[in-house]
Structure 1
Amino acid sequence: MTHALPAALDAELSSLLGADGWRTDAAARRAHGEDDSRQWALPDAVAVPRDPGQVVAIVRACRAHRVPLVARGAGTGTAAAAVPFAGGVVVSFARMDRILDIRPGDRCAVVEPGVLNGDLQQALQPHGLFWPPDPSSAERCTIGGNLACNAGGPRAVKYGATRDNVLGLVAVTGAGELIRCGGPWTKDATGYDLTHLIVGSEGTLALVVEATLRLAPRPQAQAGLRMFYRDAAAAAAAVSRLMRQPQVPAMLEFMDASAIALLRRNGTEVPEAGAMLLVEADGDHETLPYALQALADAAAGEGLLSLDVAADGAARDRLWAARRALSPALRSIAPGKINEDVVVPVSRIPDLVAAMEALSAESALPIVVFGHAGNGNLHVNIMYRPDDAGENARAHAALPRLFECVLALEGTLSGEHGIGVAKRDWMARAFDAPTLAAMRAVKSALDPDGILNPGKVLPPL
């Protein structure tokens, strides 16, 4: 459903942005109406600004006419946060894609939101630096999108997610005001921390037009371990031991028994086991062997079946091949997938896995669990055939059971995908009324007319 734009707004933004920056044709609107959630809705127009001044003008014009605005990067999100369900204007940052400054001495980079994560990593290589967030879509997702949903990835266990790696922002609020928060420093006790408030807000508080990112030194060397355990409880106990000792793993990934069985059925050479952990250490050439030994010692214990070491690049590639093969292998089970990125305390991982095994049996559907064990951030994949009415109904009935389980285990709804609309209605279960009221007050302060990404994140009153 679309809504006719006010003629005055159409004329104003057409004059401001030109024919290539103000698109109302059907093709452009359709191309900017969906993301990887597989949901879609047509916007009334697409604005493609070139600079922060144009973003300010777009927001002010839309506010004057009470027209909704939805910010968009590359559309790789899975929670429908970039889908313009209320129509209005999609603001694409495709032309604001410049790396403005790389400051090795300050270990930071200043970028526009349309820069691709992968392009930034390439630009940082000659400086011996990298930006830690590494979502699976890193080659095609934008920094702005990473900021919107607080993207993570396997490296988050050591280096943190996006919010931990942003030093400052320039953003345009829903009132059309350009605000600056944070900067090229790592310590700050000056006023409210608006930077980290805006990161993860999914475009509901402000439109980011510039970000100062914290960079990390690129490690000289990496090595990996692969461990198989009798069951998920033994693997979770090993995760706790790994995270208690001083050597923080660079990556720590978990696969449950169903994931291992899936790999075996698809030709990957892994033994039968109840759970698997993949661990990576990084550092310099001199200290890496000691770090690897410390991780191996922590991994050893009750329930360990076997442990493999991969010290060189080729061996590491073979070790991680199973993890890379897992997502494509899921399609061999069924064409439909509900993938939720829930988080539970590390000690409750066995409870979550056991609950998902029971839910799988009860719903007569395959459920595969794997993910970032060091953070307790697991991807629960409910597999089904969309063209089978019974499976479709059972899969979508299983989803609230998953969320109920996660909240009962003192967990949270999303570790890196965000809320969007996919999990919006569960926010009232995840937070009490006073906490949600505080969130709504923040939203009202920064977006007084509610034009920024309406209907996302916060449930309706």
Structure 2
Amino acid sequence: MPLPAALLARLREIFPDDALATTDDDRRAAARDNSRHEHLPDAVVFPTSHAQVEALVRACRAHGVPLTARGGGTSSTGASVPVAGGVVANFMRMNRILRIAPDDRLAMVEPGVTNEALQKALAPLGFFWAPDPGSAPWCTVGGNLACNAAGPHAVKYGATRDNVLGLAAVAGTGESFRCGTQTSKSAIGYDLTRLLIGSEGTLAVITEATLKLTPRPAALRSLRASYRDAASAAHAVARIMAQPATPCALEFMDALALRLAREHQPEAGVPEAEALLLIELDGAPDALEEACAAVEAAARVDGLVQLEVARDEAQTRALWAARKALSFAQQAVTQHKINEDVVVPVSRLPALVDNVRALAEKHAVPIVSFGHAGNGNLHVNFLPRDVDEIERAYAALPELFERVIALGGTISGEHGIGVVKREFMPLALSGATLGLMRGIKAAFDPDGILNPGKLLP
């Protein structure tokens, strides 16, 4: 159904020249993200100011037209796909770094700034922003906020929600507001900042973020431990996380992940093992030796095959080569990968690994497990190669989520819910909790125009 003529005329006033696009090519570019979902919007706009966003939301509300905010389009859950049509607001032109204040350890940015561009701007000043998803070169800060993105270093430095001080936004009512502060401490009522982060654009459209910065560590040390079975590696993870020196990254790869990486990149020197841990420590040089020794001791469980410590940058790159090769290795196997990012308490990680192996055997479909073991966040990737395996993989998904919930975990650690996991939300949350969420949605967006069809079942 085309946009009302009056709304289209208003959009042309708000977004002159090429800031409004309605051609088929422009609409197709905004119709998909990194999921398999695709739906054409009726128009695409390119905001460059908060005032434009406020006018846009008010116009869409007045005509009852859906509005979906979009960043780099890297979501794997369909979070930025306009499933109800309407208008897509592409924020890639709203990409200014407004202020960097090293003394206050903060930066103020617009939502279209890419994660990588921000990190490059901060590096000469001796700081970084903690979220570091694998899509950093393409994903935007706005997208990181939408799904509470994380990455390998969240185990020590936290996810997006832990590294944002305040926001400017426009609610679904068309009302502008600010929440949060420019200080690291605040006790002034409801924390709307943390509420908006992870809400996938269903409550408000964010136009500015005040981010908490972290000083870059003076030194890094990388270790790689291989094990004769996944249970031993998972046990080592629990031991490592129980000692005082918290790694800044603790990654796990199972046997299939290692084999795929080895076959895809033979020159990388990926070891033959049933499981692998990649461990990174950071801090002051004089403290690293003691921390490294403590982690080494914790990693030495029954089942350890080999423990390697990198002594320079070249050795560090060599140790991480297996992890770097894995994404492309999976793409070489199948174009039908189903990527889930489940989380359990670290102490239950051995049970999760066993459960995933049992699912692979029961449903006769290859499953690769790897990810951020330090906070119990595993990427469980189904790799079906034909129609039968695709059907079996999707049949296994509810069982995976049920087992994760039974272990005290949750169904998403950093990818969000979007369209893909929406139907499984009642597994993770009670009816009463979902009812409260719907009440919050109604308060922010009473007409339901913001990113409809996402997150809430």
TM-score range for the pair, normalised by the shorter chain length: over 0.9
Q: 1:165 aligns to what?
A: 163
Q: Under a length normalisation based on structure 2, what TM-score does the superposition of the two structures give?
A: 0.97
Q: Give 1:430 shift.
A: 1.0
Query: 2: distance between equivalents of 1:63 and 1:332?
Result: 45
Q: 2:276 aligns to what?
A: 276
Q: Give 1:260 shift.
A: 2.3
Aligned AA (1:97) = N
Deviations 1:304-357 (A, max 9, x none): 221000021111000000111111112333332101111111122222222222
Query: 1: distance between equivalents of 2:45 and 2:33?
Result: 17
Q: 1:260 aligns to what?
A: 258
Q: 2:357 aligns to what?
A: 357
More deviation in 90-99 or 235-244?
235-244
Matches within 5 A, 1:66-105: 66-105=64-103
- Are the equivalent residues in 2 in contact too, given 1:232–1:349 (CA < 8 A)? no
Q: Give 1:302 shift.
A: 2.2
Q: 1:24 aligns to what?
A: 22
Q: Percent identity?
A: 60
Q: Give 1:362 shift.
A: 2.2
2:361 aligned with 1:376: no
Q: 1:202 aligns to what?
A: 200
Q: Under a length normalisation based on structure 1, what TM-score does the superposition of the two structures give?
A: 0.96
Q: 1:6 aligns to what?
A: 4
Return 5+ residue gaps in structure 1 as ranges.
Answer: none
Q: 1:232 aligns to what?
A: 230
Query: 2: distance between equivalents of 1:244 and 1:305?
Result: 21
Q: 1:131 aligns to what?
A: 129
Aligned AA (1:281) = L
Query: 1: distance between equivalents of 2:378 and 2:251?
Result: 9
- Are the equivalent residues in 2 in contact too, given 1:222–1:311 (CA < 8 A)? no
Q: Give 1:363 shift.
A: 2.0
Query: 2: distance between equivalents of 1:236 and 1:394?
Result: 27
Counterpart selection for 1:141 from 139, 142, 152 = 139
2:245 aligned with 1:247: yes
Q: 2:149 aligns to what?
A: 151
Query: 1: distance between equivalents of 2:335 and 2:24?
Result: 29
Aligned AA (2:412) = S
Query: 1: distance between equivalents of 2:280 and 2:442?
Result: 44
2:56 aligned with 1:58: yes
Query: 2: distance between equivalents of 1:331 and 1:456?
Result: 27
Aligned AA (1:253) = E
Query: 1: distance between equivalents of 2:387 and 2:298?
Result: 47
Q: 2:323 aligns to what?
A: 323
Q: Give 1:371 shift.
A: 0.3
Q: Give 1:269 shift.
A: 2.8
Q: Give 1:185 shift.
A: 0.7
Query: 1: distance between equivalents of 2:262 and 2:18?
Result: 50
Tell me the matched-pair count: 455
Query: 1: distance between equivalents of 2:214 and 2:232?
Result: 33
- Tell me the SS of whatever aligns to 1:279: strand
Q: 2:299 aligns to what?
A: 299
Q: 1:312 aligns to what?
A: 312
More deviation in 407-416 or 135-144?
407-416
Return 5+ residue gaps in structure 2 as ranges.
Answer: none
2:383 aligned with 1:420: no
**What is the RMSD computed on CA atoms of the aligned residues?**
1.2
Query: 2: distance between equivalents of 1:250 and 1:361?
Result: 33
Q: 1:447 aligns to what?
A: 445
Query: 2: distance between equivalents of 1:284 and 1:59?
Result: 48
More deviation in 139-148 or 362-371?
362-371
- Are the equivalent residues in 2 in contact too, given 1:174–1:450 (CA < 8 A)? yes
- Are the equivalent residues in 1 in contact too, given 2:235–2:350 (CA < 8 A)? no
Deviations 1:401-432 (A, max 9, x none): 22222122221111000000100000111111
Query: 2: distance between equivalents of 1:330 and 1:93?
Result: 30
2:198 aligned with 1:213: no
- Are the equivalent residues in 2 in contact too, given 1:69–1:90 (CA < 8 A)? yes
